[in-house]
């Protein structure tokens, strides 16, 4: 019930934001004829993950369409993550009310922004980060049980599912494991540190290209020097909150809470120090796209889990009005925030359901009425336009398209070899809103595009076989 409520609250929006990469990669795995002109813009980044391979395998094995597999995967992943939270809550709290308060708070806060990282606790579409996080939480449970072999298996799978979140999960589990044993001597602790430094890959110290730096500068959340005061508060305050929870737990002899919260506080402080070193050292700029501040994702989950359990135990108890006083305003606030974010789209975008969003209707027409090798161009900032709601043309129309300045910029930071291509294509279309027929023909000559999607009712002199109240799809002869 909590899983269903959490998913209904956050909504479901396949093809938005990071799904521009993941959904396109799955479609390319299933149909190699798709994306003949731009597959590098998403396949290279996916080399470190098995997510697209796994999803394609499930589609072939079950004969369920990708859209259906993604929806089932979203529900199953949310259930596994919240089930892991319940299992951890049962280790920490003896009453059923406290246990379910902990899980319910995590579910209600699925779309809580994690300070300065451009992350949610759980995304509105199937993301390998969510799968990796669920595996990490189950691995943490196994570490508490002193079953390192099984925990290691889950952590390995989480790393190959989403390398960044998997590695951060490994870091927490190592700290949790060490916290349950006698602390190592300083002499022994220096050995692995020296070994790690000695095998640092040489590409870290390579000079980045100007195009790569320009792509990097589009991601303000990569740079902690650009963070606002409240983002810093969201990064530093959890250390003290988790430390306070650990201190309380030791005082009242609650070892499970103390172990989890103290390990989380140490993890947060350690990862913050690492992030500051990496992000404030010019020589390590190539490590910036690794986004070390994303350690906060796991920290926020523990704050919600442990904080929710303590609130349920000490305050809510069996008083219905107290539960309503806490969860009703939170639920309404989180729902309104999601409706504001996706104001032009249905709250739950189910497979096969016609959308009233004109952009999505245009993407659906393109998917059904243009050849698989068609090559499109759109405004480089189309995902940020009012009513578009960050939906990816590439993922939803299943057609090749010139690089955009919103999502593909992040891909260019992850794969530096793509940065010159990204920069060339986005700069060529930089004045898109002022383009006339000859400008589109210039793009055709330069890159080989043969279709465009534009705001409005078309361009004089071009054949536009599809138009709606917001956009037109036009063919270049």
Torsion region of 401: left, alpha or beta (phi above 0 gives left; psi -120 to 50 gives alpha): beta
Digit-coded pLDDT (tens) for 34-77:
999 999 999 988 988 999 999 999 999 999 999 999 999 999 99
Show Cβ contacts of residue 318 under 8 Å, excluding neighbours closer than 6 positions.
97
- The full length of the chain comes to 477
Contact residues for 196 (Cβ-Cβ < 8 A; gap 6+): none
The per-residue DSSP string of 92-149 comes to H-SSHHHHHHHHHHHHHTTTPEETTTTEESS-SS--HHHHHHHHHHHHHHHHHTT-HH
CB environment 10-40: b (16+ within 10 A), e (fewer): bbbbbbbbbbbbbbbbbbbbbeeebbebbbe
Chain centroid, CA 409 distance in Å: 15
Give the per-residue pLDDT at 206: 57
Is residue 209 exposed (0-12), middle (13-18) or buried (19+ Cβ within 10 Å)? middle
Residues contacting residue 188 through CB under 8 Å, at least 6 positions apart: none
Residue at token pair 């090749």: 400
- In DSSP terms, which residues pair with 455 in a beta bridge? 471
- Give the up-direction half-sphere exposure of residue 224: CA atoms within 13 A in the CB hemisphere: 22
Give CA torsion, residues 6, 9, 12, 13, to 10 deg.
Answer: -130
The pLDDT value given to residue 244: 95
Residues of the chain where predicted confidence (pLDDT) is lower than 70: 181-207
Residues 6+ apart with CB under 8 A from 392: 15, 16, 17, 19, 20, 23, 24, 383, 407
| Structure tokens, 335 | 């729902």
Which residues in 3-48 belong to E strands, given as ranges? Answer: none
pTM for the full predicted model: 0.91
Q: What is the pLDDT of residue 284?
A: 86
Residue 406: phi, psi to the nearest 5? -100, -70
CA neighbor of 171 nearest in space, from 5, 295, 63, 47: 295
Query: How much is the pLDDT for 301?
Result: 97
pLDDT at 77: 97
Summarised one tens digit per residue, pLDDT across range 354-398 is 899 999 999 999 999 999 999 999 999 999 999 999 999 999 999
Coil, strand or helix at 1: coil
Tell me which residue has tokens 């506080």.
265
372 backbone dihedrals φ, ψ, rounded to 5°: -60, -25
Q: In the chain, where are the structural domains located?
A: 65-317, 358-475
User: What was the pLDDT predicted at 26?
Assistant: 96
Q: In the prediction, which pLDDT does 202 show?
A: 44
Contact criterion met (CB below 8 Å) for 435 and 462: no
């Amino acid at each position: 019930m909590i899983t269903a409520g959490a998913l209904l609250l956050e909504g479901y929006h396949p093809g938005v934001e990071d799904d521009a990469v993941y959904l396109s990669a799955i479609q390319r795995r299933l149909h190699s004829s798709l994306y003949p002109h731009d597959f590098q813009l998403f396949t290279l980044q996916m080399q470190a993950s098995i997510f697209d391979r796994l999803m394609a395998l499930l589609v072939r094995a079950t004969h369920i369409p990708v859209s259906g597999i993604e929806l089932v995967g979203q529900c199953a992943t949310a259930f596994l993550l919240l089930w892991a939270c319940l299992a951890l809550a049962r280790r920490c709290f003896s009453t059923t009310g406290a246990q379910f308060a902990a899980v319910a708070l995590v579910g209600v806060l699925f779309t809580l922004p994690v300070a300065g990282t451009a992350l949610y606790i759980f995304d509105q579409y199937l993301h390998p980060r969510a799968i990796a996080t669920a595996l990490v939480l189950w691995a943490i449970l196994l570490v508490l049980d002193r079953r390192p072999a099984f925990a290691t298996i889950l952590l390995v799978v989480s790393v190959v599912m989403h390398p960044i979140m998997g590695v951060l999960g490994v870091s927490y589990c190592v700290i949790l494991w060490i916290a349950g044993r006698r602390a190592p001597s300083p002499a022994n602790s220096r050995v692995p540190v020296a070994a790690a430094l000695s095998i640092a890959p040489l590409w870290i110290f390579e000079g980045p290209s100007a195009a790569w730096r320009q792509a990097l500068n589009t991601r303000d959340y990569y740079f902690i020097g650009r963070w606002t005061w409240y983002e810093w508060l969201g990064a530093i305050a959890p250390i003290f909150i988790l430390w306070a929870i650990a201190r309380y737990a030791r005082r009242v002899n609650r070892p499970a809470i103390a172990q989890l919260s103290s390990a989380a506080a140490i993890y947060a402080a350690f990862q913050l120090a690492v992030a500051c070193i990496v992000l404030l050292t010019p020589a390590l700029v190539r490590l910036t796209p690794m986004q070390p501040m994303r350690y906060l994702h796991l920290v926020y989950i523990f704050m919600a889990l442990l904080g929710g359990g303590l609130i349920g135990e000490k305050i809510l108890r069996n008083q219905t009005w107290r539960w309503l006083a806490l969860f009703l305003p939170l639920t309404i606030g989180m729902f309104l925030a999601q409706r504001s974010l996706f104001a032009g789209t249905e709250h739950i975008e189910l497979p096969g359901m016609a959308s009233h969003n004109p952009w999505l209707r245009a993407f659906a027409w393109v998917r059904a009425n243009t050849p698989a090798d068609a090559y499109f161009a759109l405004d480089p900032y189309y995902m940020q336009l009012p009513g578009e709601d960050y939906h990816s043309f590439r993922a939803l129309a299943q057609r090749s398209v010139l690089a955009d300045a919103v999502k593909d910029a992040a891909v260019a930071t992850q794969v530096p070899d793509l940065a010159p291509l990204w920069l060339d294509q986005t700069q060529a279309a930089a004045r898109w809103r002022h383009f006339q027929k000859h400008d589109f023909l210039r793009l055709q000559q330069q890159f080989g595009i043969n279709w465009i999607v534009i705001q409005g009712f078309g361009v004089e002199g071009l054949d536009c076989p599809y138009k709606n109240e917001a956009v037109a799809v036009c063919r270049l002869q």
